[in-house]
Structure 1
Amino acid sequence: MSAIQDLGHEYWNWRASQQPRTHDDIPRIERPENWIPRWSPSDVEQYKLKIVEFEERISEISVGSSNSPEIEVAEWVDYQLIKSAVARAHFELNILRTWAEQPRFYIDQTIGVIFDLLTIPDVDSLRIKKVIRILEVTPSILKNGISNLTSNAVSEYAEIAIGDLSKISEQILEMSKALSNIVENELSLQLTSSAEKAILAFIEFRKWLRNNLLTMKPLRAIGTENYNWFLQNVSLYPYSSEEILQIGQIEWDRAVAFERIIKNRFRNVEPGPIPQTSAEQVVNEEKAENLVRKFYEDESILSQPKSLRHYLNAPMPDYLEPLRWLGVSDDLTGPSRLDHDGYSYVPSPGPSMPYFYAANARDTRAGIVHEGAHYQQLAISWSHERKLRQHYYDSGVNEGIAFYNEELMLSAGLFDDAPITQIVMWNFMKLRALRVIVDVNLATGLMDIETATKFLEQKVPMDYATAREEAITFSSSPGQAISYQIGKTQILNLLSEAVDADKNDFNLKAFHDYLWLNGNVPISLLKFELLSDNSDLKKINR
């Protein structure tokens, strides 16, 4: 291997142990056997030193600029990927500092890890032993969390964590009871004992947060300089925060206008019925998924290799139900499980279902064209012959592809038979544009939490409590909420430039095959590799 590939391989081996667990499903990573999260103060310092080492080693490799690369373009692109990956680790530890400021971080590194373990189908005794291992180390992880949070924790984030833990005892007991039905008595007793220890630790953690809430520091924006650093060095976006805000506003106006037009067109159409049971929805989705795949091929939009497995629905398991607030309830498989189907777990349908669950229940294609696109893109990218492109770097391209795929399939005619789903697609576009506006304004300090809360409450609309939690969530992970819209905007630009370059010889299916295969690579890099166009890269000094 080259020096670049060697460095990348070493980085990703390190990252498999170091990468913190988050709510998001796209960055999920396969961990070493018997892995446990390590976030003691000394661990954090070791991580920081390792990042400095990676930064120094990156700087020692001479590759030239996009104006005059000194190595082949594909290898030059891979080098930029490693720079982006190390920049993300630096941003997490030294700028965003979730490990020091956000108590929810330690919920993610404990019961959140268990949630991820349980999203993989066919839970058995081996998996339950891994659950027990995490329950056993939960007290020490939370204790280290208190050490890191002392004098650093942000009060708004602490309030969210306190709320998250309001029913943690009941939730862990419900989970462990459901899992106990799967295994023999001895392992069941171990599970119960470990669960009790974890519950006591969470109660102490919640008590500490409550007792120290009034002395915690207020939330402060990361600021324009840090935000722009993230945009340029991690996401590799060719836009400033001001330009991204403009894109969000333009797309908001477009989505609001066309949603209203489509609503007017179908003003006399009533929503279809919701399935009576989750089992009925599972059957509906399986049929729809096959039809969507056939549509891709029939319309020459995207290849569907026979080796590519399926994206399916399954009823929400009883052991996962009490933990579903911890992340996206799905399993998008992984590099070592390419022969497995992907699954999204669905709750029992009913009249009180949240809007998006109801939309997906009525027409399962609404979920297939987004989460199903994630499954296909990741599975295809995990098979990439260039190993460094098998890894997640930034949500811009992943979420951009899935969001782009929604309007792609809408425009291609997939939903011509479903007026209400057409309205849903435009509503999705409206909400993604709104996220851009809120994300940028929170990160740069143009909005505070209260202003963002009222903005969401009025614009979506939604209730105050939900709007406040959304606002705090956006502020806790700047740059993620913009990824849907900004990634899609970049893809549309790439598509336009590719059409212009090939004129009458342009092949839409080949374009999408390339995009999905390289679906972990920021679009600015793909534009350079595919079209020899470095205009975006020059804007970020690459």
Structure 2
Amino acid sequence: MKKSLIAFTLIAAITGCTSATDEANKSETKVAVAQQQESEKLALLFENYFNDSIDLSPISGTYVGLNEYNNKFSAPISAQSINNELEHEQTYLKQIEAIDKSKLEGQDLLSYEIFLRDRKLDIKGFEFNSHFMPLNQMYGIHNSFATLGSGKSAQPFNTVKDYQDFIERSQGFALYMDSVIISMREGVNKGYVLPAAIIEKILPQLAVHIVKDAKDSVFFGPVAMLANNEQISPSEKVKITSQYEDLILNTLSPSYAKFHDFILNEYLASGRATVGLSELPNGKAWYEYQIEKNTTLPLTAEEIHKFGQQEVARILAEMKQVKQQVGFSGDLKAFFKFLQEDPQFYWKNEAEVVKAYTDVKNDINSRLPALFEVFPRADYEVRAVEAFRAASSAGASYQSPAPDGSRPGIFYINTHNLKAQPKFILETLSIHEASPGHHFQISIQQEVQGLPMFRKFGGYTVFAEGWALYAESLGKEMGMFSDPYQWYGRLSDEQLRAMRLVVDTGLHAFGWSREQAIQFMVDNSSLALSDITAEVERYISIPGQALAYKTGQRAIREMRNNAEAQLGDKFDIKKFHTQVLIDGALPMPILAKKIQAWADNQ
């Protein structure tokens, strides 16, 4: 009897354990299923958002290799199109808020946090009437469309359909430009107008596309490419040539001429003498928004201005050390003049510039394995900025490669003014724009498997520019900058970014004039006056963008310093760089949180 009781008790105990285990397993299964369901809902939300965003901005589809969008253009600017964009953001904010965050982990949780933050910030941006000033000399569809139609950008020109697609897209462009005139005219009436100094810089960018002979147009570039195209028959080539001559002379050139006449004869007279964003309706809040959007950090204009002044002073002191190292006997101002005027520091022609940057590319690439373990598959090539946009373009820029590898990245170097491209910035500029700067970061982001499309092809100025400036600071660790003048070039480049903090905030928060900003940069650098003028006008046109470089660099450097202090001998610079790059561009607070979690787990 006792044995039976003991046996029964034992069996009951075992049964109880089994039952408890089963219940635990069922509970874990329920959690896993719930997580999977929420993850799938999230993935579908991201996919739908990306697709709907491309529908609103079809040219974006072309840049990411979705050829079904190659004949489409954005809807003309109107109250309805603006409302559609706002509703797009509001719809997806509601959807992301309906996702149960507690059931997400890993990349899903990271994507959730990014997406939620971005939707809220984008919706906030609709408080400011940016559509009244939809373009400027730095950024605008008048320039980007010409680049697209030149045959040297993302728009493909390989088949008959490709050529027909661009003809159809051009009709949309002409309609859009008509709406730009209407919107800018309304902006004048409501107090939203570009500074006169900026308006004047737009005129030559338009005039270059007003032609009487189609062969003189940049849009004739794809026709010139037909000669070497074996996919298209001779009869089709004749037909396409005729169609493109008609397109240029009867659609594109008249569209540019109409907009040029509006700017020259109507808009220019309304151009304002002031330059700061704070001078516009709701301008102070608008600039605060631009700081938030471009830095992703809780910074004020006052904090940034002060940080910039401190950095300018620090870098000037380092420049004096270089002056002493090379044995220059005059003061710093005389040293600046020497660097500006001595022929040894300047190229003779465009071909020399392109060759030098192509050669240094190979040197830098050979040094990267010392600091990196992840590399982009895509290559890049060096090109001079096209003549039609060179006069008002930045000194250098980068265009990302095609995601499918069909088009390399492009490092554009502006050879319009060779005095603005001194030899001593060769190494630092290449590191910034190409590898391990923009080309490295953007290509890796596009190539990472498993990222939602909005992360693959999205980005943050503070991450991209902060990384590129941080990359410059790696030069000595890579064995670069052994020539003191190349090191001066590195300092000159960093000084430019430090001055930007002072000048951008000065212009948009503290009432600085264009001339005051130019003089500040003349006093604190050896940059050519033409380069300084273009830089200041850039900051006037795109408030807050110039703040991203130094604030981003400082944030990434602080993350590295903290990780090094925490991990000591266990710190691995290659793995740190992988952690920064491998998840694509992130807002700085989210990146800092991620890096700290990585350090904690080492």
TM-score above 0.5, yes or no: yes
Structure 1 residue 38: Cα displacement = 2.2
Counterpart selection for 2:252 from 198, 222, 225:
198
Structure 1 residue 304: Cα displacement = 5.0
| 2:398–2:439 Cα contact (<8 Å) kept | no
Structure 1 residue 249: Cα displacement = 1.9
State the structure with more CA Rg.
Answer: 2
Residues 43-95 of structure 1: per-residue CA shift (max 9 Å, x gap): 222112222222333333353xxxxx774254332122213433454355442
Residues 454-509 of structure 1: per-residue CA shift (max 9 Å, x gap): 43455446687765554343233222111111110000110011112212100011
Structure 1 residue 377: Cα displacement = 1.0
| 2:521–2:532 Cα contact (<8 Å) kept | yes
- Secondary structure in 2 aligned to 1:313? strand
**Rounded Cα–Cα distance in structure 2 between residues aligned with 1:470 and 1:170:** 30
Q: Does 1:257 align with 2:298?
A: no
| 2:137–2:201 Cα contact (<8 Å) kept | no
2:112 maps to: 79
Q: Does 1:435 align with 2:472?
A: no
- Secondary structure in 2 aligned to 1:410? coil
Which amino acid in structure 1 is aligned with residue 263 of structure 2?
A: L
Q: Which has the higher helix share?
A: 2
Residues 213-265 of structure 1: per-residue CA shift (max 9 Å, x gap): 33466664264444334444664214333222222222222222212212321
Structure 1 residue 439: Cα displacement = 1.8
Residues 494-527 of structure 1: per-residue CA shift (max 9 Å, x gap): 0011112212100011101221223411232122
| 1:110–1:135 Cα contact (<8 Å) kept | no
1:335 maps to: 403
Which amino acid in structure 1 is aligned with residue 94 of structure 2?
A: E
Structure 1 residue 400: Cα displacement = 0.7
- Secondary structure in 2 aligned to 1:503? helix
Structure 1 residue 533: Cα displacement = 9.7
Q: Does 1:137 align with 2:172?
A: yes
Identity of aligned residues (%): 16
**Rounded Cα–Cα distance in structure 1 between residues aligned with 2:319 and 2:597:** 37
Structure 1 residue 302: Cα displacement = 1.0
Higher deviation after alignment, 288-297 or 261-270: 261-270
2:333 maps to: none
1:120 maps to: 153
Residues 393-408 of structure 1 correspond to what in structure 2 (within 5 A)?
393-408=459-474
1:415 maps to: 481
- Secondary structure in 1 aligned to 2:225? coil
| 1:400–1:485 Cα contact (<8 Å) kept | yes
**Rounded Cα–Cα distance in structure 1 between residues aligned with 2:48 and 2:142:** 26
- Secondary structure in 2 aligned to 1:336? coil
Residues 345-494 of structure 1 correspond to what in structure 2 (within 5 A)?
345-346=412-413, 353-356=418-421, 358-359=423-424, 363=426, 366-372=429-435, 373-388=437-452, 389-416=455-482, 418-456=483-521, 458-460=523-525, 470-494=535-559
**Rounded Cα–Cα distance in structure 1 between residues aligned with 2:59 and 2:537:** 18
Residues 200-349 of structure 1 correspond to what in structure 2 (within 5 A)?
200-213=254-267, 214-215=269-270, 220-221=277-278, 223-232=283-292, 235-267=295-327, 284-297=356-369, 299=370, 301-303=371-373, 305=375, 308-314=377-383, 320-324=386-390, 325=392, 330-337=398-405, 340-346=407-413
1:35 maps to: 72
Using the size of structure 1 for normalisation, the TM-score is: 0.82
Q: Does 1:164 align with 2:205?
A: yes
- Secondary structure in 1 aligned to 2:546? coil
| 2:361–2:430 Cα contact (<8 Å) kept | no
**Rounded Cα–Cα distance in structure 2 between residues aligned with 1:190 and 1:459:** 53
Counterpart selection for 2:223 from 176, 180, 186:
180
| 2:288–2:300 Cα contact (<8 Å) kept | yes
**Rounded Cα–Cα distance in structure 2 between residues aligned with 1:382 and 1:234:** 21
Which amino acid in structure 2 is aligned with residue 79 of structure 1?
A: Y
Using the size of structure 2 for normalisation, the TM-score is: 0.74
2:130 maps to: 98
- Secondary structure in 1 aligned to 2:574? helix
| 1:329–1:345 Cα contact (<8 Å) kept | yes
Which amino acid in structure 2 is aligned with residue 194 of structure 1?
A: L
**Rounded Cα–Cα distance in structure 2 between residues aligned with 1:136 and 1:345:** 29
| 1:286–1:313 Cα contact (<8 Å) kept | yes
| 1:333–1:341 Cα contact (<8 Å) kept | yes
Which amino acid in structure 2 is aligned with residue 531 of structure 1?
A: Q
Counterpart selection for 2:83 from 45, 57, 66:
45
Change (3 A) 1:315 1:463: closer
**Rounded Cα–Cα distance in structure 2 between residues aligned with 1:2 and 1:440:** 44
Which amino acid in structure 2 is aligned with residue 4 of structure 1?
A: L
**Rounded Cα–Cα distance in structure 2 between residues aligned with 1:293 and 1:215:** 50
Residues 348-391 of structure 1: per-residue CA shift (max 9 Å, x gap): 79xx514236546xx46641443332111111111223423323
Higher deviation after alignment, 6-15 or 447-456: 447-456
1:540 maps to: none
| 2:133–2:187 Cα contact (<8 Å) kept | yes
Change (3 A) 1:5 1:188: same
| 1:331–1:344 Cα contact (<8 Å) kept | yes
**Rounded Cα–Cα distance in structure 2 between residues aligned with 1:105 and 1:346:** 17
| 2:460–2:587 Cα contact (<8 Å) kept | yes
2:52 maps to: 14
Change (3 A) 1:35 1:460: farther
Change (3 A) 1:257 1:314: same
Where relative contact order (Cα < 8 A, 6+ residues apart) is larger, the structure is 1
Change (3 A) 1:12 1:166: same
Change (3 A) 1:505 1:259: same
- Secondary structure in 1 aligned to 2:447? coil
**Rounded Cα–Cα distance in structure 1 between residues aligned with 2:85 and 2:366:** 47
1:539 maps to: none
2:574 maps to: 509
Which amino acid in structure 1 is aligned with residue 373 of structure 2?
A: S
Please give the root-mean-square deviation of Cα atoms over the aligned residues, in Å. Answer: 3.7
Change (3 A) 1:330 1:169: farther
Higher deviation after alignment, 273-282 or 258-267: 273-282
**Rounded Cα–Cα distance in structure 2 between residues aligned with 1:233 and 1:282:** 34
**Rounded Cα–Cα distance in structure 1 between residues aligned with 2:63 and 2:502:** 27
Higher deviation after alignment, 34-43 or 229-238: 229-238
What residue ranges of structure 1 are gaps of 5+ in the alignment? 64-68, 535-542
- Secondary structure in 1 aligned to 2:474? helix
**Rounded Cα–Cα distance in structure 1 between residues aligned with 2:323 and 2:58:** 42
**Rounded Cα–Cα distance in structure 1 between residues aligned with 2:294 and 2:45:** 18
- Secondary structure in 2 aligned to 1:387? coil
**Rounded Cα–Cα distance in structure 2 between residues aligned with 1:234 and 1:85:** 12
Change (3 A) 1:231 1:282: closer
Count of residue pairs the alignment pairs up? 512
| 2:466–2:556 Cα contact (<8 Å) kept | yes
What residue ranges of structure 2 are gaps of 5+ in the alignment? 1-38, 227-236, 329-338
**Rounded Cα–Cα distance in structure 1 between residues aligned with 2:58 and 2:324:** 46
- Secondary structure in 2 aligned to 1:168? coil
